[in-house]
Structure 1
Amino acid sequence: MIPFHAFAEVVAYAAGAALVAGGVGVGLLYALRARSITTLLAVVSAATVLATVAGIVTITLKMLITDHDRSVTLTVTAIAGLVGLGVSLVLGHRLIAGTRALLGSVRRAGDDGRFVPPDRTLPAELDELAAELSAAYARLETARARERTLEASRRELVAWVSHDLRTPLAGLRAMAEALEDGVVADAETVRRYHAQIRAEADRLAAMVDDLFELSRIHAGALRLSRRRVGLAELVSDTVAGTEPLARAKGVRLSGLAHEILPVEADAAELGRALRNLVVNAIRHTPEDGGVEVVAGVERGMACVTVSDACGGIPEQDLPRLFDVAFRGEAARTPGGGAGLGLAIARGIVEAHDGEIGVSNAGTGCRFVIRLPL
């Protein structure tokens, strides 16, 4: 058995030689840190072999073994080192090939925005990176598609708003010029012109308010003052506020809440969304038709439905009904405006973490607002 002091001396010499070789390897890694992975792996392999050889040489000299034994030991160590170096080079080549294949896929994705992972087996880390890149490019494509849709909606909105502004402005100008030039002189006509001017001004002000509200929604600047609100009270207020319009149109309007349903919401904003739906339903329901507003619970969520008798909406128009400025065969917006009412309703409901949808039901449509209880 080797004495302890001799064993400790061997360990000390071997550790010293290994530390010197390791220090040289670390220095080379730092100096070559910008080179390829293959070069770095070769340095690691060479440093390992060098540390082993240095330790063996030091130990054999200390132990005074024969030259033959020393030669055999060094030869075996060198062969093992060369094999390790070869394995390191093969591994480095595989890593570089996988990295370059992944880089090529990224560069090709820059042309059309679609990322296609390399059709070869990659190391686990590179394969995980490829999966993350695929998911990231998919999210980017979704964002681009939404941006294109929003841009198309903005252009369509500008076109509709320009058209809807031009008509009342032309009427306002004509009536103002008639009053200014004295073309209209009798008191009855003057009063009628004044009333029309006031009505058109109110309509334009409402359109500007809608545009401002929609811009806040799209900019994420809609600030909600949430408090506990009863849906029964909200339905009652909405029905009371729209009853004059329904009476003038000859439409039966009713509201019903099956139970007291408290939700955390901004009463003013949520009331505006519901009012948009009810006014929309009244305007598209024929005389003697009915509009019903019902609050209840569906699938664990507070639910408000607005059912009308408009005759239904073409199925192909249903998915786009809440888009900005969308108009199907018949506009589904309050007052036949610029297509903002339903878009505003959707923005407000979604800001409350809710859902809004529409479907054909019976002789008309059924608009549904769902909110967390």
Structure 2
Amino acid sequence: METGWLVLLSLALGLVIGAGFVILLHVAERRGNNAVTVASTAVPDGVDQVIDAIESAGLVIDPSNNVVKASSAAYGFGLVANGMLVRQEIKDMVAEVQRDGAPIVREVVIARGPFGDANVHLDVRAARLGSRYTLVLADDRTESYRLEETRRDFIANISHELKTPIGAIALLAEALEPASDDPEQVRRFARRMGTEAARLSQITREIIELSRLQATDVLAGATRIDLDAIVSSAVDQNHVVADARGMTLAVGGAKHVHVVGDEALLTLAVNNLVANAVQYSPDNSRIGIGVHHDDGVAEIVVTDQGIGIPEEDLPRVFERFFRVDQARSRNTGGTGLGLSIVKHIVQNHGGDIRAWSQIGQGSTFTIRLPEAGQTTAAPQGEKR
């Protein structure tokens, strides 16, 4: 009897021990699977596709700063090299996220290219991706910063330009009362006030024109235009001043070359070029206005025999308020906006403008526009 109980007890103990081994093996297997999962460098499901699809620079980084996945933009910005995150500012962000777990958003400025002659402004966001990885997204804000800088410069320039005629008018107004008994002085001050008021009006008008040119519907009423009419109108607007100084406005080149655009704006552009040529050329000189066309491109060329523009200043002559000679420009009434207006008009018409100059020999400005083909229909009727 006792032997039977001993057998049963032995069998029970064997079952318990066997079950224990099975449980231990199962736990060991689960721990092994978890260890494999932790050690794996695979990116979580779906992240690869997201990184490939987004326009931002996207990176997935492991705890050793190895880049597990990166978008093409990340390589373009130079954030990755040899599979490693190389920008220290972003490394610091990743380390902070890995330490504290909270997402971070910061502005990072990095040099563009090996010479560091230009900067890229990035809005960088870093956050945890699961328990192991860190996700970094960087958006390029360089263009926004450039536009903001341009806006600030424009406002500063406007303030400076308006201050000069306004200050002059205020001083002249103060001088009028003490000179009330001297009619000649009053007339002289009044003439000066008229000149400054006209200058103020011109600056205001050109600023409004620049703002209008930035509208998206500036060419909503585009028509087919004969460039003969554009050149003729621009010459008519300048011939009185040119004749008074003994200048010759010579028109030549091809006839009946057509473009599609806004006649008033193109006339303004050519008028500004001719007016500049008259303004900065010596008396009794010759100004040429020619029209050419070739291979679908129409050109309006204005050439003068003026003082010329230094080579280093040529790339800047189309900037707002830029003047080659500040003192001479103020004496001649220039605002520094004329060529900027020309550039905007031409670009709005799908063309470009080029400048050539040599000191003491003169300058040549060339407007290039798409030529209207013989079968091109005028959108709103045809101007001839």
TM normalised by structure 2 equals 0.59
- 5 Å-filtered alignment, 1:129-140, equals 137=140, 140=141
Given the alignment of the two structures, is residue 286 of structure 1 paired with residue 282 of structure 2, yes or no?
yes
Alignment RMSD, CA only? Answer: 4.1
SS of the equivalent of 1:263 reads strand
Q: 1:194 to 1:224 in 2, by over 3 A?
A: farther
SS of the equivalent of 2:259 reads strand
- 5 Å-filtered alignment, 1:241-256, equals 241-256=237-252
CA distance in 1, matches of 2:275, 2:92: 51
Q: 1:340 to 1:169 in 2, by over 3 A?
A: farther
Q: 1:248 to 1:269 in 2, by over 3 A?
A: same
Tell me what 2:236 maps to.
Answer: 240
- Asked if 1 retains the 8 angstrom alpha-carbon contact of 2:221 and 2:262, the reply is yes
CA distance in 1, matches of 2:271, 2:91: 51
Deviation of 1:158 (Å): 1.8
CA distance in 2, matches of 1:230, 1:347: 20
Which structure features the higher share of strand residues?
2
Q: Deviations over 1:278-331 (max 9, x none)?
A: 111101000121111111125632111111111311111111111111122355
Q: Deviations over 1:13-44 (max 9, x none)?
A: xxxxxxxxxxxxxxxxxxxxxxxxxxxxxxxx
Q: 1:190 to 1:96 in 2, by over 3 A?
A: closer
Q: 1:199 to 1:338 in 2, by over 3 A?
A: closer
- Once the two structures are aligned, what percentage of the paired residues are identical? 27
Tell me what 2:42 maps to.
Answer: 92
**Larger Rg computed on CA atoms:** 1
- Asked if 1 retains the 8 angstrom alpha-carbon contact of 2:354 and 2:367, the reply is yes
CA distance in 1, matches of 2:205, 2:92: 46
- 5 Å-filtered alignment, 1:301-312, equals 301-312=297-308
Tell me what 1:151 maps to.
Answer: 152
Q: Which amino acid aligns with 1:255?
A: V
Q: Which amino acid aligns with 1:261?
A: V
- 5 Å-filtered alignment, 1:350-369, equals 350-360=347-357, 363-369=361-367
Q: Which amino acid aligns with 2:161?
A: W
- 5 Å-filtered alignment, 1:1-373, equals 86=36, 89-92=39-42, 97=62, 98=67, 104=90, 107=93, 110-112=107-109, 114=120, 137=140, 140-171=141-172, 174-175=175-176, 177=177, 181-184=180-183, 198=194, 200-218=196-214, 222=218, 225-298=221-294, 300-329=296-325, 335-360=332-357, 363-373=361-371
- Asked if 2 retains the 8 angstrom alpha-carbon contact of 1:357 and 1:369, the reply is yes
Q: Which amino acid aligns with 2:293?
A: V
Deviation of 1:217 (Å): 3.4
Deviation of 1:223 (Å): 5.7
CA distance in 1, matches of 2:43, 2:210: 56
CA distance in 2, matches of 1:321, 1:357: 10
Deviation of 1:240 (Å): 1.6
Tell me what 1:58 maps to.
Answer: none
CA distance in 2, matches of 1:93, 1:236: 69
- Asked if 1 retains the 8 angstrom alpha-carbon contact of 2:266 and 2:345, the reply is yes
CA distance in 1, matches of 2:310, 2:208: 30
Q: Which amino acid aligns with 2:366?
A: V
Q: 1:200 to 1:258 in 2, by over 3 A?
A: same
TM normalised by structure 1 equals 0.61
Deviation of 1:338 (Å): 2.7
Deviation of 1:145 (Å): 3.1
